[in-house]
């Protein structure tokens, strides 16, 4: 049976860093995959018209590369999500949840260092309550380079994966899609670069007996 998947990304590139290979696996299985993108560049936030147009073009390119069924954009300026009242943020996400009716939801890690990630997690996770959103059967948090790896180094705030997805057949395309976001990448030791992405996938794969893997923390699964 084909599944409905919702990827909740705070920023363009989070979906690729955190679960690009897994998205490609879902698409190979003919699942319907929806992309919820919370933030975007705006001229009001100081970006030029050319920068905004370039980013919009990148987002459209990425959406085509993955073959998303639909993309939702909340249009919140980057780094300002925590300035949106939580009730308003939750309402927007709940509306999308009720339109898509996903059975599986991928969320940012709740202790990611970026405040946008934490706010989006809080709002989106509240939209997975079984008595209000009974169609949601599985909820996972993803590992996002440059955010999850900088979480506070205590056991309570650490990303401890318990779901491993073999992306060996999809690592090359994941990296190719990441190249679309040229301005978001840098040279090592900057975390967001192709070598680091491949190294993390290689390391996670070794833990589970795969060549390359993406990992998640399972929050809920209803069977």
The residue ranges of every structural domain in the chain are 4-221
The pTM (predicted TM-score) of the whole model is 0.97
Mean pLDDT of 154-169: 97
Q: What b/e string do you get for 186-197 counting C-beta neighbours within 10 Å, with b at 16 or more? A: eeeeebbbeebb
What is the rounded distance in angstroms from the CA atom of residue 54 to the CA atom of residue 142? 27
The C-alpha angle with vertex 208 and arms to 138 and 10, in degrees rounded to 5, equals 45
Architecture of domain 4-221: 3-Layer(aba) Sandwich (3.40)
Instruction: From residue 90, give the alpha-carbon distance in Å to each of 66, 87, 124, 134, 152.
Output: 26, 5, 7, 17, 25
> Which pLDDT belongs to residue 57?
97
> Which pLDDT belongs to residue 45?
87
Mean pLDDT of 1-9: 95
Alpha carbon 219 to its chain centroid, in Å, reads 15
- Dihedral sign, CA of 168, 172, 174, 178? positive
> Which pLDDT belongs to residue 85?
97
Q: Identify the H or E element spanning 7.
A: strand 4-9
> Which pLDDT belongs to residue 44?
87
Reported as a pLDDT band with limits 50, 70 and 90, residue 21 is: very high
Is the pLDDT score of 156 beyond 80? yes
Q: Identify the H or E element spanning 87.
A: helix 86-100
């Amino acid at each position: 049976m084909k599944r409905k998947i919702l990827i909740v990304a705070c920023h363009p590139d989070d979906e690729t860093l955190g679960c690009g290979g897994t998205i490609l696996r879902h698409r190979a299985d003919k699942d319907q995959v929806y992309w919820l993108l919370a933030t975007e560049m705006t001229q009001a936030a100081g970006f030029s018209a050319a920068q905004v147009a370039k980013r919009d073009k990148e987002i459209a390119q990425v959406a085509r590369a993955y073959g998303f069924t639909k993309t939702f954009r909340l249009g919140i300026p980057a780094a300002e999500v925590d300035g949106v009242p939580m009730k308003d943020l939750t309402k927007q996400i709940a509306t999308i949840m009720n339109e898509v009716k996903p059975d599986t939801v991928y969320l940012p890690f709740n202790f990611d260092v970026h405040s946008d990630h934490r706010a989006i997690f809080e709002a989106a996770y509240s939209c997975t309550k079984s008595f209000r959103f009974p169609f949601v059967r599985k909820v996972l948090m993803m590992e996002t380079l440059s955010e999850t790896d900088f979480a506070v180094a205590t056991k309570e705030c650490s990303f401890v994966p318990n779901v491993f997805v073999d992306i060996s057949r999809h690592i090359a395309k994941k990296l190719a899609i990441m190249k679309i976001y040229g301005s978001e990448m840098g040279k090592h030791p900057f975390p967001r670069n192709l070598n680091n992405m491949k190294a993390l996938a290689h390391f996670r794969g070794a833990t589970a007996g795969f060549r390359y893997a993406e990992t998640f923390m399972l929050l809920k699964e209803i069977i």
